[in-house]
């Protein structure tokens, strides 16, 4: 095996890829393997009586996805909504379409820059945070899609 191949395999062991996006100018990431696709916003059919963070249903090529407003879910200010894109994830056979402001790159981050989320985080978002990666120019908040799904299923 050439030395190059070894270095690649070593690299893939210690880095992970995240699909990143912005909500209210904050940077978030979801494990790239959990993201099905990224789409432009689509026509929303509102669901009356649903909690405010459930924004409606969208027709994703014939499959119905539930749109989740991350601003509302995370308790960020929802005054000036600028959600321009959606990140579609599949959890337990359900399609979730997360409304975000802007899509970032797929970031490859080194495992050793990971840290669990500090205790001072707002409770509203803490439960969705897997932790944080410290990159050279920013802090990447990692969101666990499973925890979003769990929260949605919780009876109020």
Please tell me the distance from the alpha carbon of residue 100 to that of residue 81, in angstroms, as a whole number. Answer: 10
Q: Burial level of 73, CB count in 10 A (0-12/13-18/19+)? A: buried
Q: Is 77 helix (H, G, I), strand (E, B) or coil?
A: coil
The closest alpha carbon to 109, from 150, 140, 131, 81, belongs to 140
User: Least Å distance between CB 115 and another protein?
Assistant: 27
User: Least Å distance between CB 99 and another protein?
Assistant: 15
- The binding site for another protein (CB under 8 A) comprises 38-39, 43, 45-50, 54, 56-59, 61-64, 66, 92, 94-96, 103, 105, 149, 152-153, 155
User: Least Å distance between CB 101 and another protein?
Assistant: 14
Smaller CB separation from another protein, 6 or 47:
47
Smaller CB separation from another protein, 11 or 84:
84
């Amino acid at each position: 095996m050439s030395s190059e191949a070894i270095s690649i395999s070593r690299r893939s062991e210690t880095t992970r890829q995240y699909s990143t996006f912005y909500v209210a100018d904050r940077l978030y990431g979801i494990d790239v393997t959990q993201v099905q696709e990224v789409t432009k916003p689509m026509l929303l059919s509102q669901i009356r009586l649903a909690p405010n963070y459930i924004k409606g249903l969208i027709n994703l090529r014939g499959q119905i996805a539930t749109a989740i407003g991350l601003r509302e879910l995370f308790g960020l200010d929802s005054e000036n909504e600028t959600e321009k894109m959606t990140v579609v994830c599949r959890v337990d056979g359900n399609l979730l379409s997360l409304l975000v402001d802007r899509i970032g790159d797929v970031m490859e981050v080194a495992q050793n820059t990971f840290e669990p989320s500090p205790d001072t985080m707002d409770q509203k978002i803490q439960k969705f945070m897997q932790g944080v990666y410290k990159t050279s120019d920013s802090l990447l908040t990692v969101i666990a899609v499973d925890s979003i799904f769990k929260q949605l299923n919780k009876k109020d």
